[in-house]
Structure 1
Amino acid sequence: MILYMMSFKCYCRSFTKCLKEATAKKHESKKVFIPPGKWTLSQVVLVGGTNKSPIELVVQGTLEAYSDSRRMPNPDGQWITINYVNHFTLYGGGVLDGKGQEAWKQNDCNKNKNCAKLPINLSLNFINNTIIRDITVKDSKNFQVNCISSHNVTFQHFHVSAPGESINTDGIHIARSTSIKVIDSIIETGDDCISIGDESKDYHIQNVTCGPGHGISIGSLGKGAEEKDVSGITVIDCKFKQTQNGVRVKTWPSAPATLKVSDLHFENLIMENVSNPVIIDQEYCPWNLCDKKDPSKIQISNVSIKNIKGTSNTKEVVILACSKSHPCKDVTVANIDVSYVGSVAANVTNICSNVQPTFVGKQNPPLCTAPAQSA
């Protein structure tokens, strides 16, 4: 691969070498080009350190990972890692192809806690003032992208491409970060389109099309005692197409964490043949591998669910299954118009437990039929 680096005019045959040279130049802006074509990349780590000058990575071609991650220099690491970088921009219309098809066949993490660790396509950690735009991330062996401990990061015109059967391939996983935007993007994957972890504040998700996938999820939360609050999550003007869920909040029962989840806004959402269009699940317990004897200790408050339209293939359109010990507070449900498209006739409804929502406008299906406070 021959790469061209602007600013200090260096031709490189190694992607890793070019990035290292870019971070070494502390007082100049840098631009690294990957030209059109297909290029094999074994693994790369960019660490910005004290370098505060802007770095641009322009990917016009397709970078391809090894199908067998054991061929990477560090098999336990991620494929492309960007750490401690300020003012970073990744763009160019190119593709990051993780070649994950063989890895999905071997993935048994849904039932094996000691499963093999697989690499993430693009791992972003401790980055600030960053834009990722006009890039496709494809067929990762694990999460497509993670964004951890970062601030002021925007994903725009960002495309995730993976089939629905790809296992554990969350489109974008974000946690311990502030001021994150995902806008004008398409996410097609086999797990959560966007998953949000703890210590998250001020995330704005707008005009995102999700599907296939498991929807947009906050959580799961509460399993770890040291987890911190989540606040200010807005999902607006998004479309969900044949996803396992629409928007979801999930917290563990009988778990130690006592964090707060507040200021959640799910508005102007279109559902197309979606299971569970809107769900708060405070008894999240996949594969029944946990103890439900004690309710979740997480307090959810100030939630708005407004202008939800389209079709559901499950009979419960809005599910608010809140904690018995910490009932949800200040929940508004407004203008719901979702029809049932299941193959078997059913009484479509909204379900509420341990919550007293405020209902505004049209409610199709009807208002919650379960008691506002369960015994």
Structure 2
Amino acid sequence: MAMAKRRVSSTIATVLIVICTALASCNAAVPLRPDLGAIFNVVTFGAKPGKSDSSQAFMKAWNAACNYVGPRARVFVPPGIFTLGELLFEGPCKSQNPIIFQVAGTLQAVSDVSAFSSQGWISFDTVDGLIITGGGIIDGQGQNVWQYNDCKDNGDCVHLPASIHFDDVKNAKIKGLNFVNAMGFHLHISNSYLVRAHSLTITAPESSPNTDGLHISKSNTVKVARSTIRTGDDCVSIGQGATNVTINKVTCGPGHGISVGSLGKLPNEMDVKGLIVKNCTLQGTTNGIRIKTYAGSGPSVAAGMLFSNIVMENVLNPIIIDQNYGGSSNKPSQVRISDVIYDNIRGTTNTAVAVNLKCSPSVPCQNVHFTNINLKYTGTNTLSSTCANAQVISTGVQFPTPCL
């Protein structure tokens, strides 16, 4: 009976949204049953599909929803293409339940790179309780600005904005969206707690620069699941200060694989602890599972990492630790890597060195465990492992033969 009531409530909400969108004459907030709250349709605040900038209308809809004191507030983006400049959706909000940001249409970034001044195109800041969903498209229009990315040659470059940026966001879910062609990262999660991202599709050309699918830093308890990521950079990258992160059932490729790092670029970086990557498939990526730290980095820790049940399909560098990343310093990395488990890693590789551990001579890798590694080389040479400055323990099947 309770489930039937929820279905009826959901149907009522959907019908009212459709009617409101069709008439384009609803009040700013459409009150529903008390337990359903109110809908804030961006069109009723002045948003118009097309090339005109609807940023102000979106801000007005967000502010109205954020200040709504009822049990639930929903910002609704109807079908259509809405052009948007830089947006900052700020809290704290008054709603008693998570604000729902429902995107049924397409959000498309303006093409002028000078219109963006921060880390995000669409940013959520200081929000406790948020659900972003709706099956819509987040189109960063990165193809218009990638030419301005000089990070390949400039170590001090300023990254182009992420399509969606979470900063100080708590108790959030983002699900069922389609990201395409971000200017920078597609989804950047920083300084946040208890964030779940699932059922996402993220797509950008293999040649697109620094278009990580998700970048997670300075955040605790982040879960990424059941998503497909095809980009020009890391499918998921783990930055400094990321703790208790789980990546489950992600299909990755093309791209640079799933990476921890780069770590140690900045002074006094926070530790990375508690990472689980499991049940993932990497297809044609330039790396599989990678941990990378800058040469000459300051001291920090990357520890407690489990990589389990990973399938590699024609992957270069399936398992790699590179503590000389960048190679621009004569000093060794001071990032201490320890307690890393590789369990049930299988599939094919396009390189003869399937396991390549280049750890720091100053702080060697400790307690690196390999259990049931079964990789096959697509070429004619003998498959091998290379290890430097690493304490390695191996059990079970081992192809290639482990370096001890």
Fold equivalence (TM over 0.5): yes
1:211 is displaced (CA, Å) by: 0.6
More helix by share: 2
Write the letter of the residue equivalent to 2:83.
Answer: T
The match for 2:314 among 241, 248, 273 is 273
The match for 2:148 among 93, 100, 106 is 106
Q: Give the whole-Å Cα distance in 2 for the aligned partners of 1:316 and 1:102.
A: 38
Structure 1 runs of 4+ with >6 Å offset: 1-4
Give deviations 1:258-316, integer Å, cap 9, x for gaps. 1111110011000111110111111112xx4x11x322212111110011111111111
1:332 and 2:376 are equivalent in the alignment: no
Write the letter of the residue equivalent to 1:124.
Answer: F
Aligned to 1:69: 113
Aligned to 1:228: 270
1:57 and 2:101 are equivalent in the alignment: yes
1:112 is displaced (CA, Å) by: 2.8
> For the Cα contact (< 8 Å) 2:71–2:95, is it kept in 1?
no
More moved, 34-43 vs 83-92: 34-43
1:245 and 2:245 are equivalent in the alignment: no
Note the residue ranges of structure 1 that are not aligned, 5 or more in a row. none
| TM-score (ref. length: structure 1) | 0.91
Aligned to 1:305: 342
More moved, 234-243 vs 8-17: 8-17
Note the residue ranges of structure 2 that are not aligned, 5 or more in a row. 1-20, 31-36, 47-56
SS state of the match for residue 168, structure 1?
Answer: coil
Q: Give the whole-Å Cα distance in 2 for the aligned partners of 1:5 and 1:216.
A: 42
Aligned to 1:179: 221
Structure 1 residues 299 and 114 mapped into 2: Cα distance closer, same or farther (>3 Å)? closer
> For the Cα contact (< 8 Å) 1:231–1:261, is it kept in 2?
yes
Write the letter of the residue equivalent to 1:274.
Answer: V
Write the letter of the residue equivalent to 1:334.
Answer: T
> For the Cα contact (< 8 Å) 2:343–2:370, is it kept in 1?
yes
> For the Cα contact (< 8 Å) 1:69–1:119, is it kept in 2?
no
What is the percent sequence identity of the aligned residues?
38
1:115 is displaced (CA, Å) by: 4.8
Give deviations 1:13-41, integer Å, cap 9, x for gaps. 22221001111224542011111122212
1:83 and 2:125 are equivalent in the alignment: yes
Give deviations 1:121-164, integer Å, cap 9, x for gaps. 11111001100000011101111110000011000101111110
Aligned to 2:356: 319
> For the Cα contact (< 8 Å) 1:5–1:33, is it kept in 2?
no
Aligned-residue CA RMSD (Å): 1.9
More moved, 111-120 vs 152-161: 111-120
SS state of the match for residue 373, structure 2?
Answer: strand
Aligned to 1:363: 398
Write the letter of the residue equivalent to 2:66.
Answer: T
1:346 and 2:381 are equivalent in the alignment: yes
Structure 1 residues 246 and 77 mapped into 2: Cα distance closer, same or farther (>3 Å)? closer
Aligned to 2:45: 12
Pairing of 1:194-213 with structure 2 (within 5 A): 194-213=236-255
Structure 1 residues 223 and 155 mapped into 2: Cα distance closer, same or farther (>3 Å)? same
> For the Cα contact (< 8 Å) 1:51–1:85, is it kept in 2?
no
Return the index of the structure with the highest Cα Rg: 2
The match for 2:203 among 161, 166, 175 is 161
Write the letter of the residue equivalent to 1:322.
Answer: C
> For the Cα contact (< 8 Å) 1:311–1:338, is it kept in 2?
yes
Write the letter of the residue equivalent to 2:178.
Answer: T
1:116 is displaced (CA, Å) by: 6.0
Aligned to 1:295: 332
> For the Cα contact (< 8 Å) 1:52–1:86, is it kept in 2?
no
Q: Give the whole-Å Cα distance in 1 for the aligned partners of 2:94 and 2:401.
A: 57
> For the Cα contact (< 8 Å) 1:42–1:79, is it kept in 2?
yes
Q: Give the whole-Å Cα distance in 1 for the aligned partners of 2:315 and 2:212.
A: 18
Alignment size in residue pairs: 360
> For the Cα contact (< 8 Å) 1:5–1:32, is it kept in 2?
no
Structure 1 residues 294 and 139 mapped into 2: Cα distance closer, same or farther (>3 Å)? same
